[in-house]
């Protein structure tokens, strides 16, 4: 049992020592959760806003030392203090750190943190699916070369989906669609202004809320799951039908059986309150005895059955992945060597030459999932690279923004690694 093994670790005076980047709502929640997990603690937090990071740690009851000097940081950790720094490489260079993580939705932050950790021989468990979708394959490659572990954590929908995926694969059931229940109706035009009231009531950042409503978050989640399982979207943006537990198996049956699934191994999502917040896998079963047993167990009727987990606990659940990585060298989720989906950048409004794309959930763009080979054919700019780039020509609302339409900051680690990843993908496709 994970719990017993963590207790045993702590009883020996040892801990899984985590270095993390991030200070937002997710990071605060993850830090609060770690305080209740035996055999595990955060020893370093990195963020550009060191004052905010220090306040976050002090609010969690931690003694804090803010420094950019490695020797001072090492002494602080040895005496039980938490190090705060602007430099993500400082946490990676700390001997007392076992696992690096990024607890933000920023691909730039996540990739930079992961790469720094891998280069210093640290295991990496990301609570950042956007970083994985943007450059996960090259991070996995580098981690393998360094002999360290690279994984995305459980808790977010892709990690939770992997548990159901492993279940149906192990039992020999034929997966048709894997997906999630979206928490709110899809509106690609959503902006911080249109969601301001709901964000205020939930005490959340309006950009964050808008990234949920406009579908960007869902597109990243399902692209992450697709690349880890070998599934693909049925169409650009997926279908997103209305469904509940009584209808979802019929909705996602294959087209020849009256459903909408064009093939097996697809990713999609459903809308409606009944399945919001959960994850599911719809399978087809041909064995009469197994169908009868599943009907008796009230899983469904007919040839299609849906296995549903009604919740995901996001960063609260993530410590399980850190424990399994450290104790058993077990990865929760990682991309396959071949890409199956990507998230393209689409103009949310008319854009003038010289304008700067803002952030996920903002006013200028949203993310749209597409099959990886089609996104490559279109030369679509990965949405993970979009925040902060400058537009080179006039674009209309709904246009797919391409690499040639923007100027990127080529000094960013995320840009460098994505270019290397794409060059390796292109070389592999030519050699196939």
Angstrom distance (rounded) from CA 90 to CA 74: 10
* Bridge-based pairing state of the strands 341-347 and 266-270: unpaired
What DSSP character marks residue 250?
H
Work out the number of other CB atoms within 10 angstroms of the CB of residue 260.
17
Can you give the pLDDT at residue 114?
98
Angstrom distance (rounded) from CA 116 to CA 131: 14
What's the mean per-residue pLDDT of the chain?
97
Can you give the pLDDT at residue 430?
75
What is the average pLDDT across 340-367? 98
* Inter-CA distances, 246 with 118, 284, 308, 408, Å: 45, 16, 12, 47
Its sign, for the CA torsion 324, 329, 330, 331, is: positive
Structure tokens belonging to residue 48: 């550009």
> Tokens 């990965």 identify what position?
382
Task: Read off the pLDDT band of 310 (50, 70, 90).
Answer: very high
Angstrom distance (rounded) from CA 413 to CA 307: 39
The DSSP string of 135-155 is HHHHHHHHHHHHT--EEE-SS
CB 60 within 8 A of CB 84: no
Angstrom distance (rounded) from CA 83 to CA 63: 9
Can you give the pLDDT at residue 432?
61
Task: Read off the pLDDT band of 65 (50, 70, 90).
Answer: very high
* Bridge-based pairing state of the strands 40-46 and 82-85: parallel
* Inter-CA distances, 169 with 27, 129, 265, 346, Å: 33, 23, 11, 35
* pLDDT tens per residue, range 94-150: 999 999 999 999 999 999 999 999 999 999 999 999 999 999 999 999 999 999 999
Can you give the pLDDT at residue 429?
77
* pLDDT tens per residue, range 86-99: 998 999 999 999 99
CB 380 within 8 A of CB 342: yes
Angstrom distance (rounded) from CA 186 to CA 330: 35
* pLDDT tens per residue, range 12-36: 999 999 999 999 999 999 999 999 9
Can you give the pLDDT at residue 259?
98
In the predicted model, is pLDDT for residue 426 greater than 90?
Answer: no
For a pLDDT cut of 70, what percent of the chain falls above it? 100
What is the average pLDDT across 293-308? 96
Phi/psi region, residue 354 (left: phi>0; alpha: psi -120 to 50; beta: rest), is left
Sorted by where each begins, the domain ranges of the chain are 2-155+315-328, 157-313, 341-427
CB 194 within 8 A of CB 288: no
Angstrom distance (rounded) from CA 356 to CA 93: 34
Can you give the pLDDT at residue 300?
92
* pLDDT tens per residue, range 149-189: 999 999 999 999 999 999 999 999 999 999 999 989 999 99
Residues 6 or more apart whose CB falls under 8 angstroms from that of 126 comprise 101, 102, 110, 113, 114, 132, 151, 152, 153
* Inter-CA distances, 58 with 65, 66, 311, Å: 10, 12, 31
CB 340 within 8 A of CB 231: yes
Query: Is 341-427 in CATH node 2.60.40.10?
Result: no
Q: Cα 112 from chain centroid?
A: 15
Phi/psi region, residue 388 (left: phi>0; alpha: psi -120 to 50; beta: rest), is left
- The closest of 18, 23, 143 to 91, measured between CA atoms, is 18
Its sign, for the CA torsion 274, 311, 128, 236, is: negative
* Inter-CA distances, 211 with 110, 194, 205, 220, 425, Å: 18, 12, 10, 10, 28
CATH number of 2-155+315-328: 3.40.50.720
End-to-end Cα spacing for the chain: 43
Buried b (16+ CB within 10 A) or exposed e, 92-123: bbbebbbbbbbbbbbbbbbbbbbbbbbebebb
In the predicted model, is pLDDT for residue 46 greater than 90?
Answer: yes
Structure tokens belonging to residue 22: 């991030």
In the predicted model, is pLDDT for residue 77 greater than 90?
Answer: yes
What is the average pLDDT across 331-356? 98
């Amino acid at each position: 049992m994970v719990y017993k093994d963590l207790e045993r670790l702590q009883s020996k005076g040892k801990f899984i020592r985590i270095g993390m980047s991030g200070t937002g709502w997710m990071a605060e929640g993850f830090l609060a959760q770690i305080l209740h997990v035996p055999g595990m603690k955060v020893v370093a937090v990195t963020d550009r806003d060191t004052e905010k990071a220090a306040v976050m740690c002090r609010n969690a009851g931690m003694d804090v030392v803010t420094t950019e000097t490695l020797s001072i940081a090492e002494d602080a950790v040895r005496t039980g203090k938490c190090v705060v720094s602007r430099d993500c490489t400082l946490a990676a260079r700390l001997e007392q750190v076992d696992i690096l993580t990024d607890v933000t939705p920023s691909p730039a932050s996540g990739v930079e943190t992961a790469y720094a950790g891998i280069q210093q021989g640290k295991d990496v468990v990301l609570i950042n699916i956007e970083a994985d979708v943007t450059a996960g394959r090259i991070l996995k490659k580098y981690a393998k070369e360094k002999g360290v572990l690279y994984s995305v954590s459980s808790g977010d929908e892709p990690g939770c989906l992997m548990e159901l995926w492993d279940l149906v694969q192990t039992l020999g059931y034929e997966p048709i669609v894997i997906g999630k229940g979206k928490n709110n109706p899809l509106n690609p035009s959503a902006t911080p202004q249109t969601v301001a009231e709901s964000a205020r009531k939930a005490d959340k950042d309006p950009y964050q809320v808008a990234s949920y409503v406009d579908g960007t978050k869902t597109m990243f989640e399902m692209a992450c799951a697709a690349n880890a399982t070998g599934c693909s979207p049925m169409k650009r943006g997926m279908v997103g039908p209305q469904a509940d537990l009584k209808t979802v198996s019929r909705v996602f049956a294959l087209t020849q059986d009256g459903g909408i699934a064009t093939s097996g191994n697809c990713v999609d999502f459903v809308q409606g309150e009944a399945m919001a917040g959960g994850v599911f896998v719809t399978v087809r079963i041909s064995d009469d005895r197994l169908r009868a047993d599943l009907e008796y167990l009230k899983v469904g009727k007919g040839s299609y059955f849906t296995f549903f987990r009604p919740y995901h606990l996001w960063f609260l659940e993530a410590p399980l992945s850190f424990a399994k990585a450290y104790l058993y060298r077990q990865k929760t989720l990682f991309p396959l060597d071949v890409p199956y989906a990507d998230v393209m950048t689409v103009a949310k409004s008319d854009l003038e030459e010289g304008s700067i794309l803002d952030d996920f959930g903002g006013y200028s763009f949203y993310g749209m999932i597409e099959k990886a080979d089609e996104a490559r054919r279109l030369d679509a700019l990965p949405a993970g690279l979009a925040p902060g780039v400058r537009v080179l020509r006039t674009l209309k609302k709904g246009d797919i923004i391409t690499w040639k339409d923007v100027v990127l900051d080529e000094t960013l680690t995320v840009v460098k690694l994505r270019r290397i990843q794409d060059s390796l993908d292109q070389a592999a496709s030519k050699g196939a």
